[in-house]
Structures are given as C-alpha cells and as structure tokens.
C-alpha cells in the first residue's frame, strides 16, 4: 500500500488516488514529424529507479500533482506541483 | 541392445512430428523419458537420471545470443537450432532459468482473441502447446479443461456474443453459455452474487499447463541440440559498430555475436535503453496467489473481466487466483495489498464456499504493458538486434509461437508472416491491434 502525501489534503492511502503516468512529457508542435509524434504519444521512459509521475487525489480534493517515486522500493522522494521542474534528487537512478 | 534400439524407434515413430529425433541416438533409453526409462530408474532408486541441460563455459562469440532464459528465450533458441540449423547459440540469463515471469504466471493457455492477427498467432501457439509434450519428450501437463469468461450484465453478454463470433470466424472454438450451462459446468459458483452472472462463453481448448515444465522442457531440448544456456550472466551493455550489434558486455565478460535477440519480460525498456532506443512499454506488477491445497473441486478456468478475477485449480489442489495489475510503474515483484484484496473479494463473491480457505503464497511478476496490449516483436532500429517483449499479462500462452516466429525472424532477418503486424512500426503507422478487450483481464 502506497501512502501518498497530497499537497492539499495530507497523507492518504493509494486507494484514494488515480495514477496519471509519466510527467514532464512535452507536446510537440503541430508540424513535428511522425517520429516525434509517435515518440510523444507512445514511448515511455519507464525507468527502473526514480520515476517522475503524476497522481490525482480522486476521492479527495480532485487535484493533480507530481510525485518522484522509486519504482523498485516504492519510496516517495518528493511531491511537487504540476508545472514545476523535476526536483534534483542526486544519484538515485538504478539503471 | 538391438531390441532396445528397436523400442526407441517405435517410440519415435509413434510420436507425431520429427522432434524426438533429438533424443534418438544410442543412449535414448537413458536420455529420453519413457515408460521403460522410468521403470529402469525405479529399479535403481532414481539415482541415475542425468542432468537435463548442460552448464557450459561461456565461449568468446556466438552466431546468435538470446538474452533471457525464460520460456520465450529458450523456445527461440530451440526452434533456431531445430528449424533453422543455427549451430552456435547462447541463451544468457541474469538470474536462474525460468525464474522470471515464466515461473510467476498462472499457466493459462488460450487463443480466444478478437483481432485476426492475434487469433492466428495465439492459435498457432495453442496448437504447438497441444503437441508440446511429445515434441519435447517432456510432460508439460497440458490440461485443456476450458476457459470460461463470465458476463455480469446483459450488455457485457452482448459484447461476449460478438467476441465469441469473432473467434469462430477466425476458425477457433468458442461457445456462448447460459447461466444454467455455467452452473452445470461449475457447480460451486454462486450465479446470484452481487453482480449476477447473465451468461458467458467458453473456449474448450483453453486450459492450463505446468509453467516450469515448459521452461525445463525447452531448456533440455535446446541443450541437447547444442545450445549453451548460461545462467547468472547479466547483460550490462551492447557493443555496436556502424549501427549493427557486435556483442554484449556481461557480468561474465564481453561476448561477441552476429545476431542478438532479447526476451526479458518486465525489463524490455531497460534493455532497449541500453541499445539506444525507446519503446512504448510501461512495467507494472501483476500479482497472483494460491490457496492451501484442497480436493479437486474446480475443473474449469473461470475468468471475470468485469469484477477482475480469474481462478483455476492446479494439479496440486491449490486454487490459483489472479486479477488486475497494480496500475502504476513498478519493478518491485511483490504486489500491493489493495489489488490482492480486490482479487480475493471478487473470488469470494463468485465462490462463497472458498471463504474458509487460507492463502499460502502471493507474488508478483513485472509485466510489459503496451498501449494496445499487443506484443512487440521483430526487428529494432539497431541492425541484427531483435525484440520479443510487450507481452503484458499474457506471455506464457505465447511461448511456443513466440519462439517459433522469433527463430524465423532472427534466421531470415525479416519478421515471420504471423508477426508482421506486431513490430514497433505500428506506433508510427497507427495500425495498432487493440486487444485490451480480449486480453481476458482489462488493465
């Protein structure tokens, strides 16, 4: 059971949240090539280590926020607002 | 002696296919499994069974290296050696043979897919499974007990009628059942549960087999054909020269290769990243659990997509239970309590009689989920590097066909006709094969 700290409501069980997948994915411009669009739409970072991802507090405030979470230990290193840059976590990548 | 060879010949001739030729030479009665070899071993206390695959030293280079000694990797090596006469093959495994998802799945084999490409591929696999025990001279304990999908409302039943019709159009067996049929087939089920059962459909050729036996059977047959299976040898990087693979760096040194293929369920992104390209894969935990063993009481695989549960009873008497994936990225191989509770709650709603059973074990495997839940197979942006991944929650049933078609793909450097549409290009062309609805359990 993940325990996630919603920036607005406090720490709750994962059951209250909806997972939104990888964060910090930038939408290409309309004139981008098929390769770029395909990469944007389908390809994932999917790291073994820290994953920068979005969650939504569905059964709470209903707001989205970002989480930096380890995909091996499930440890949550940081919770930060949408639109903010990735926090610097130092050397945590397992790959 | 003459008489013994005669018997071996008889065994060979009785078996369909030419596969038993592998075990034909001289020592067949010791090497091959038969009633006679069993009787002979029984007389000597079963102390004379040979080791079933070799553990050779690593060579400096190979014609083909396959990364991952799970079902898919071992099957690929076996068919490469058997059908394509490739002599110099190694299978590299970071842990132990069959210790990844091959040893963690719930052993279901079926071909009840919706789209023609998937139906053709997975039925090829089921047909190979039907002859696998004989082909490999290794009992994979295939039990075609039928796989039953339940519908919990009128609309879901309508969807299943359509699904079953699509399966039949693809020349695969499917049969729509009424609640009365279902009750006859599965007497322990409670049809009037919280989400009452309105009907369902069954693929009678579907069923279960023994997953370890599939890995061991392929390993033994591949080893007999000269394939080197190297365990505890983790790949740490690829060597390339002008866009073409030339070998791998491993924890046991650098090994050269003309061609390399990887089948590393769960770690596909990891390997692709090493090779310098990205894949449309999300790694998620899929968990399973078994109850304490009980007397035979359930001889069908029962699946409910709507309430996210499937159950079968193994030959050991344990109920094997699974359901939906833990829907966030993970490489943790353990599974969370919320999904476990959901699976068990769904099971008990359908089978209240199981409520007194205790769970004995629970575990998870890391599955590669693709956007359309169709596998990623074939060529990659790196020349002579091949991929077999994206198997999602259902790679086990695909092992024989996956091995067969990847062997062809590697040998000919072009995709086997059955997997032409499963390549990475479909994410650029848009020709996705959306099997989300047909994968048995939605995720």
CA distance A87 to chain B (A): 19
State mean pLDDT over B55-76: 97
Residue-wise pLDDT for A8-50, tens only, equals: 999 999 999 999 999 999 999 999 999 999 999 999 999 999 9
- Of the three residues B344, B369, B394, the one that is the final residue of a domain is B369
Distances in Å between the Cα of B410 and the Cα atoms of B79, B222, B369 are 11, 16, 24
Residue B326 maps to which CATH number? 3.30.9.10
DSSP string, B241-256: ETTEEEEEEETTEEEE
In percent, the amount of chain B with pLDDT more than 90 equals 84
- Cα gap B289→B344, rounded to integer Å: 9
Look at residues B237, B251, B257 and name the one whose alpha carbon lies nearest to residue B59.
Answer: B257
Measured between CB atoms, which of A14, A41, A46 is closest to B282?
A46
Looking at the structure, do residues B287 and B365 belong to the same domain, yes or no? yes
ipTM topping 0.85:
yes
B283 interface with A at CB cutoff 8 Å: yes
The alpha carbon of residue B92 and the mean position of all alpha carbons in its chain are separated, in whole angstroms, by: 18
Task: Provide DSSP, B202-250.
Answer: EETT-EE--HHHHHHHHHHHHHHTT-EEE-S--EEEEEEETTEEEEEEE
Model confidence at B5, in pLDDT bands (50, 70, 90)?
Answer: very low
**Same domain flag for B224 and B359:** no
Q: What is the DSSP string of B308-352?
A: TEEEEE-TTSPEEEEEEEEEEE---SS--HHHHHHHHHHHHHH-G
Distance CA B106, CA B104 (A): 7
B35, B67: one domain: no
Give the model confidence (pLDDT) of B303-330 as tens digits.
Answer: 998 888 999 999 999 999 998 899 899 9
More confident residue, B434 or B356: B356
Confidence of residue B34 (pLDDT cuts 50, 70, 90): confident
**Residue B313 covered by a domain:** yes
For residue B28, pLDDT over 90 is answered with no
Each residue's pLDDT tens digit, B337-359: 999 999 999 999 999 999 999 99
For the segment B16-31, the average pLDDT, to the nearest whole number, is: 41
Interface test with A, best of B331, B334, B340, B389 (most A CBs within 10 A): B331
Residue B279 backbone dihedrals phi, psi, to 5 degrees: -130, 155
Q: For residue B181, what are the domain limits?
A: 137-206+283-369
Per-residue pLDDT tens for B231-268?
999 999 999 999 999 999 999 999 999 999 999 999 99
Residue A91 CA, distance from chain mean position: 18
Residues B320 and B359 reside in one and the same domain: yes
| Entry field: residues in chain A | 95
Sequence-distant (6+) residues with CB within 8 A of B45 are none
Which residue among B280, B283, B337 sits closest to A43, beta carbon to beta carbon? B280
Same domain, B360 and B407: no
Is residue A12 within a helix (H) or strand (E), and if so which, with residue range? strand A10-13
Angstrom distance (rounded) from CA A92 to CA B433: 36
Say yes or no: B346 and B387 in one domain: no
Residue B266 with chain A: CB contacts under 8 Å = none
Q: Is B130 a member of any domain?
A: no
């Amino acid at each position: 059971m993940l325990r996630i700290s919603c920036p607005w409501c406090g720490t709750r069980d994962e059951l209250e949240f909806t997972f939104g997948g990888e964060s910090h994915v930038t939408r290409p411009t309309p004139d981008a090539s098929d390769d770029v669009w395909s990469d944007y739409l389908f390809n994932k970072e999917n790291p073994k280590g820290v994953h920068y991802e979005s969650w939504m507090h569905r059964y709470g405030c209903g707001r989205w926020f970002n989480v930096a979470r380890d995909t091996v230990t499930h440890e949550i290193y940081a919770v930060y607002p949408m639109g903010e840059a990735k926090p610097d976590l130092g050397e945590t990548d397992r790959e | 002696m003459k008489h013994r060879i005669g018997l071996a010949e008889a065994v060979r001739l009785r078996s369909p296919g030419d596969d038993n030729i592998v075990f034909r030479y001289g020592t067949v009665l010791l090497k091959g499994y038969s009633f006679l070899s069993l009787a002979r071993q029984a007389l000597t206390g079963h102390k004379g069974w040979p080791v079933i695959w070799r553990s050779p030293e690593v060579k400096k280079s190979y014609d083909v290296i396959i990364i991952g000694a799970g079902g898919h990797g071992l099957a690929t090596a076996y068919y490469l050696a058997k059908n394509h006469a490739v002599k110099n093959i190694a299978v590299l495994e970071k842990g132990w043979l069959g210790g990844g998802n091959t040893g963690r799945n719930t052993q279901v084999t079926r071909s009840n897919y919706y789209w023609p490409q998937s139906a053709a591929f997975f039925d090829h696999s089921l047909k190979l499974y039907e002859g696998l025990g004989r082909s490999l001279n290794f009992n994979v304990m295939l039990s075609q007990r039928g796989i039953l999908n339940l519908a919990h409302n009128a609309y879901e039943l309508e969807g299943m009628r359509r699904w079953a019709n699509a399966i039949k159009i693809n020349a695969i067996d499917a049969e729509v059942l009424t609640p009365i049929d279902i009750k006859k087939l599965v007497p322990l089920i409670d049809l009037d549960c919280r989400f009452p059962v309105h009907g369902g459909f069954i693929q009678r050729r579907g069923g279960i087999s023994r997953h370890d036996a599939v890995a061991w059977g392929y390993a033994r047959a591949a080893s007999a054909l000269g394939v080197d299976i190297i365990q505890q040898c983790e790949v740490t990087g690829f060597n390339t020269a002008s866009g073409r693979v030339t070998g791998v760096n491993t924890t046991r040194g650098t090994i050269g290769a003309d061609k390399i293929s990887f089948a590393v369920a769960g770690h596909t992104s990891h390997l692709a990243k090493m090779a310098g390209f990205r894949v449309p894969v999300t790694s998620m935990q899929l968990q399973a659990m078994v109850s304490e063993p009980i007397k035979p009481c359930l001889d069908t695989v029962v699946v409910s997509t709507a309430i996210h549960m499937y159950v079968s009873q193994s030959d050991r008497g344990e109920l094997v239970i699974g359901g939906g994936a833990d829907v966030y990225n993970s490489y943790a191989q353990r599974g969370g309590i919320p999904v476990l509770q959901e699976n068990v709650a769904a099971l008990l709603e359908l089978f209240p009689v199981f409520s007194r059973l205790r769970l004995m074990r629970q575990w998870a495997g890391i599955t590669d989920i693709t956007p359309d839940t169709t596998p990623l197979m074939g060529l990659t942006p790196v020349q002579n590097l091949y991929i077999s991944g994206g198997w999602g929650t259902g790679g086990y049933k695909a092992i024989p066909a996956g091995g067969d078609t990847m062997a062809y793909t590697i040998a000919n450097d072009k995709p086997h006709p059955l997997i032409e549409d499963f390549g990475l290009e479909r994410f650029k062309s848009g020709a996705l094969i959306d099997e989300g609805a047909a994968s048995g359990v939605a995720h």
